[in-house]
Structure 1
Amino acid sequence: MDIQQFNRGLLSFIDASPTPFHAVSTMVATLTKAGFVRLREGDSWDLVAGERYYLCRNDSSIIAFVCGKQSILDHGVRMVGAHTDSPCLRVKPNPDMLEKGYLQLGVEIYGGALLNPWFDRDLSLAGRVSLTNDKGELISVMIDFENPIAVIPSLAIHLDREANTNRTVNKQTDMPPMLAIVDGDELNFNDIVIAQIERQHSDVSVSKILDWELSFYDTQPSAMTGLRQQFVSAARLDNLLSCYTGLQALLQADGEMTSILVCNDHEEVGSSSAAGAQGPMLKHLLQRMCQTTEDFARVIERSMMISADNAHAIHPNFIAKHDGNHGPQINQGPVIKINANQRYATNSETAALYRYLSDQVDVPVQSFVVRSDMGCGSTIGPITATELGVRTIDIGVPTFAMHSIRELAGSEDAFGLHKVCWQFYNTSDLPWC
């Protein structure tokens, strides 16, 4: 796979994945085509060396792995972690709002969204709906309206003269998207959802909508941008970029070492859920790979996790927001993320191994440390390290406009990260084995 093919695949993956449910579904289709076998957590397993498997939880988290030919007791496992969720607007349970003849929907803000860029965008809606069908069965289906069905119009500057100097956004009153003008008819969101299900799933006859997890998203397609096509411009780069990168590396793993890709939901809201990184999904898998508690401890000691989540590139208009010696640049390589207070899980040992792997595949490396007078975000890295006790490094592709409705990364960096993850999966011995 060359870099152009890789980037085309990345754009297609993001456009096909407007929600975590769709991201997992897209990954499942790719894995199935590549010969991976689905496992269900409630079944008994008989794992075979050399075979490839995957499992899902909540339809929004996925673990795919290659059951290596080499003993995990001797060589440990290679793990890459990412997350499927991104900040967005989630539809409330009772969302219908009617103001001056306009049908609007009440929304919750999911995660730490940058809200101003959501205004004046062509929005669509996607996610999961639970229902009973005409047979009385309880089922869930995914829907995606695909076409622009909503917008959040800005207030004209004539009515807000301080919009360019002192604009704030009220999450409750300013963010409800507008869907339609309803002139006396009885249009409501429940009926809109039923109609969409029946359009998209001709074999489903809806008796009653029971619940939904539906998110608005920008319909503008992902693109390669810039005068020299040096940028990847897309929604949800944080962190579908890392999901796709890890997936492509795993698909190309040689199968000698046991290699795992875990993509959890709910990172943007703290990871504290059954499907999040603080849940037991990954730990349960590793325990089932080991016959005893002692085996589990031995495997963890010989293993490592690469936590892949986007990093903050130094913005040329806001240079002072970065430490002078630690401002990652676009297309200068993936970034090792470091924090003395353990907001990132990197230590000198794991950073050294990552630099070593990067040298093997000729990929440049950068470092990020937040300014000492600013707060620091976090990732699934410290959570996974705490839950498992596994050596972990936090890395990521440098990105602009993180948590905006549209983010910007470099056209070279994700492919570089893919090469390092591939090298990691195919390295026979880690220094501590």
Structure 2
Amino acid sequence: MNDAARPDLAHAEDLMAFLAASPSPYHAVANAAARLEKAGFRQLAETDAWDSGTGGRYVLRGGALIAWYVPEGATAATPFRITGAHTDSPNLRVKPNPDTGSQGWRQVAVEIYGGTLLNTWLDRDLGISGRLSLKDGTTRLVKVDRALLRVPQLAVHLDRQANEGLKLDRQRHMTPIWGLGDVHEGDLIRFLGEEADIPAGDIIGWDLMAHSVEAPSFLGRDREFIAGPRMDNLLSVHAGTTALTAIAEGSDEPPFIPVLAAFDHEENGSQSDTGAQGPLLGSVLERSVFARGGSYEDRARAYAGTVCFSSDTGHAVHPNYAERHEPGHHPLPNGGPILKVNVNQRYSTDGRGRALFAAACERAGVPWQSFVSNNDVPCGTTIGPITAARHGITTVDIGVAILSMHSARELCGVNDPALLADCLSAFMGG
């Protein structure tokens, strides 16, 4: 296949660069914010008074970002078109007392975050990333992007049943090694302080995690796949950022106010001040209405006309486990974004939502697929039902079909990220 004839490669390569640069939610929102700044957006502090001007704005809070574009002619009652996503991924998070060890090995104590596929973290070269909280009240990002940690698997000679069924103890078997010798309290934070050029005594808090240092890459005979970390759900964050910046830089003003809402903590229930169950999105939308001179009535009218596409990854049919999937719904990579349906409201899509999604895909010239779970294999959930219930707005669950969800390294079709971004551009841009 001739790469020069494939316009999807530019978007795919940009996605891979975004994934590599964003090993933590804090890096993800910083990188998304930098892209928004290039498109003319400006950051607003939640503690400041907000003005009524047009153009792009964004708010950062921890690992969450809310960005929106107010077009010329927007009124206080103009509805929103929201792309919802999340910045966090299942991984290994550093504990408050990280320095530990056994039998002459120095190790780092970690806690399992989210529904991690534990075995995918074994025998993998890992770095550390996240944020450091300093005495002066500021935070600094840190990223050690080299082979620093490893969770060593037990050799088959010492566990002859390993290939019959591997069972990992989260407390005993998932502690990575990073050196030899005696354990000294404060070693890890001193090391990270040196890496970030910060005196260790200035560091009083941290939110740190391990990440695979293996770079994202194309995969397959014709490079028809992308393999990489954190596609669930930085793929959607990247697509939403791409769509929003394209709208802001375009020549046509949208009839709605496009919004990107990238939340943290989706993988453990969204119950935080930066998660979808928190007040952040509602606060930002209301303040946007009120800054434009709106009333509660205007806010109610705006919400009544608002639609959210909750964009998260879904399951492509697995060739080795096809029986785990619903027989009539087998999404494949490069078949376009998927519409996710669950009548028990694990996903928020209904018939009207299907029509809205189909219309956006048609405007964008994008193919799409349907996903529903096998009745005997209950599905997960997303920020979609939370957003719909908390804010009373029409919400549709969509995404991209991938393999190896919640692995340290996932896989999607090379075309699908760009197709999702095109769909979101058509949706948010009207």
User: What's the CA shift string for 1:410-431, capped at 9, x where partnerless?
Assistant: 001111111111111221xxxx
Q: Tell me which of 394, 398, 406 is aligned to 1:395.
A: 398
Residue 426 of structure 2 aligns with which residue?
Answer: 423
Residue 191 of structure 2 aligns with which residue?
Answer: 195
C-alpha distance in 1, partners of 2:195/2:69?
38
Contact 1:131/1:206 (<8 A) preserved: no
C-alpha distance in 1, partners of 2:200/2:166?
43
1:75 Cα deviation from its structure 2 partner: 4.5
How many residues matched? 416
1:294 Cα deviation from its structure 2 partner: 1.2
Contact 2:339/2:397 (<8 A) preserved: yes
Amino acid at match of 2:169: N
Contact 2:99/2:188 (<8 A) preserved: no
State the identity %. 39
Q: Tell me which of 115, 122, 125 is aligned to 2:118.
A: 115
Contact 1:119/1:153 (<8 A) preserved: yes
Amino acid at match of 2:41: F
SS class of match (2:145): coil
User: What's the CA shift string for 1:178-213, capped at 9, x where partnerless?
Assistant: 00011x5x654x233223323323xx4342432211
Residue 262 of structure 2 aligns with which residue?
Answer: 263
1:157 Cα deviation from its structure 2 partner: 0.6
Which is worse superposed, 314-323 or 94-103? 94-103
User: Is residue 2:57 matched to residue 1:53?
Assistant: yes
SS class of match (1:91): strand
C-alpha distance in 2, partners of 1:86/1:415?
21
Residue 24 of structure 1 aligns with which residue?
Answer: 29
Which is worse superposed, 88-97 or 393-402? 88-97
C-alpha distance in 2, partners of 1:287/1:61?
17
Alignment of 1:57-206 (within 5 A): 57-58=61-62, 60-72=63-75, 75-132=78-135, 137-182=136-181, 184=182, 187-188=184-185, 190-201=186-197, 204-206=198-200
C-alpha distance in 1, partners of 2:407/2:234?
14
Residue 431 of structure 1 aligns with which residue?
Answer: none
Residue 340 of structure 1 aligns with which residue?
Answer: 343
Q: Tell me which of 205, 210, 217 is aligned to 2:204.
A: 210
Amino acid at match of 1:218: S
Residue 378 of structure 1 aligns with which residue?
Answer: 381
Q: Give TM-score, length-normalised by structure 2.
A: 0.94
Structure 2, unaligned runs of 5 or more: 1-5
Residue 316 of structure 1 aligns with which residue?
Answer: 319
Contact 1:65/1:261 (<8 A) preserved: yes
Which is worse superposed, 356-365 or 7-16? 356-365
Residue 20 of structure 2 aligns with which residue?
Answer: 15
Residue 274 of structure 1 aligns with which residue?
Answer: 273
SS class of match (1:207): helix
C-alpha distance in 2, partners of 1:208/1:263?
30
C-alpha distance in 2, partners of 1:231/1:199?
34
Q: Give TM-score, length-normalised by structure 1.
A: 0.93
C-alpha distance in 1, partners of 2:192/2:390?
41
Q: Tell me which of 48, 56, 70 is aligned to 1:43.
A: 48
Contact 1:47/1:67 (<8 A) preserved: no
Contact 1:124/1:150 (<8 A) preserved: yes
User: What's the CA shift string for 1:86-107, capped at 9, x where partnerless?
Assistant: 0000011112222111001111
Residue 245 of structure 1 aligns with which residue?
Answer: 239
SS class of match (1:148): strand
Which is worse superposed, 192-201 or 160-169? 192-201
Contact 2:266/2:382 (<8 A) preserved: yes
User: What's the CA shift string for 1:57-108, capped at 9, x where partnerless?
Assistant: 12x1001111122435565111101000000000111122221110011111
User: What's the CA shift string for 1:95-124, capped at 9, x where partnerless?
Assistant: 222211100111110000000011000011
Amino acid at match of 1:228: D
C-alpha distance in 1, partners of 2:108/2:76?
54
C-alpha distance in 2, partners of 1:113/1:320?
23
How large is the RMSD of aligned CA atoms in angstroms? 1.5
Amino acid at match of 1:22: H
SS class of match (1:194): helix
Distance 1:68 1:406, change over 3 A: same
